Amino acid sequence: MALNLYESSLARARGSAGRIVATADEALSILDRHAGAVALAQEFRAVALNLRGVGLFWSGDTGAAAAALQAGLDACVPAGIELTLVNDLGHLALAAVVNGRLRQAEDWADRCVTLADARGWTDLVQASGGYLAAALVAVARNDLAEAERSLALGMQTQRRDAEPLMRLGLRAARAAVDTARGRHDSARSQLTSIRDELETIDVATQMHRWLARAEADLALATGTHAELRTRLEELEPARRSADETLQLARARLADGDAEGADELLAPIDHQDLDVALAVEASVVRALSADRLRRDNQALQLFERALSDAAAEHLVAPFLVAGTARMRVLLERVVLLRTVHAGFARTLLDILESAIPVDLDNGLAEQVTEREKTVLRYLATMLSNAEIAEEMFLSPNTVKVHLRHVYRKLTSPAGAPPCGGGANYGCSRTTTAPEPGGT
């Protein structure tokens, strides 16, 4: 039985999620048959349950993982195995954040990190789940500075006894932050490296899901989602996961196919197993209905999204392509003084301050405030005339601003090219293309 637990720990060090579960199950089976004859049986059971939960999480079965981890938590407390308890709390936080339960995830992660800090274990690998979960919660709430802080602490836990899957999870979260900050080249490089490394690891469903989602977010942020859309549309509908269905709907909406996007999402935006998925589906459906001029349906869907998101203070789904129309829907909610008008106001403030490219490399002094405002519209589906109307400018003035921004962003001394949206994509040439609306 001790040998089974040792083998399970070795499998964890190799990133073999399935083997972690199998060897932990063998240990638990022995304990069930010979508990009375095994010294430290309670301690061994706590460790085995924890390892089983870790393996199930990385295998992608978050429901079973949470049950095993909770049982492990209950066994750890009376056994007094605090280091295993730290690990348990961190993975419970990860299981919660994967399903969009941000408040629960935040609580588990805080308990994990607090205990690790109190015992001087903040640089041990057992604390890494708490830091990764805290970072993912911060990304979902658009607190990118806090996400980067948590990721830095998480990476410190990988210096001595690195775990392949946890390290890759931290790097995937870093790529998500880079995408959110507009550091697209950095995100792309990180994701390519992760995919290459995953080829050397046994199947780890959860890590593949994170990677696929991060790659889809990057493709949609940069307007390079044609390959993503083609691949997902070639899959049989029954074989598409709910998340893949959402990404396909986002790609269709970005291409102007609002009817197609809504048709895909109608069956999944009522599910309650994954809060984040439900919110994102409702947001995309609301934007689709808005584009189709179905104003009442758009408002109903948007209010549903706000209701679910407000409970978890989930922000990220409202920072997707279509920001200008998102702002219109939020302002409509505020104007009508609905139940979630306060949360809508908070989201409006975030949208107002969001810049879709990283301007911290000296470029901020070159780009004017008005040009920064134009940048916010690059990821939207508005034509130049509609952007002009939003900004109270003439279409020609908008074109001038776009040319200036293009020249600055694509100059040799400037930042990496920005990600284009539905209006157009960025080029590495120093000659600005003629801006055009959709």
pLDDT of residue 137: 97
pLDDT of residue 50: 93
pLDDT of residue 327: 87
pLDDT of residue 426: 36
CA gyration radius for the chain? 23
pLDDT, tens only, 320-348: 756 678 888 999 998 888 888 999 999 98
Give the C-alpha separation, 176 to 172, whole Å. 6
CB-based contact 141:109 (threshold 8 Å): no
pLDDT of residue 432: 38
Q: What is the mean pLDDT of each run of 10 residues along the chain (438 residues)?
A: 63 76 86 71 88 94 94 91 95 95 95 96 95 97 94 93 90 95 93 91 83 94 93 92 93 92 82 83 93 92 93 90 79 87 90 56 55 65 70 71 71 43 34 39
Domains and CATH numbers, the chain: 2-222 (1.25.40.10), 226-353 (1.25.40), 360-438 (1.10.10.10)
pLDDT of residue 424: 31
Give the C-alpha separation, 195 to 213, whole Å. 12
CB-based contact 109:153 (threshold 8 Å): no
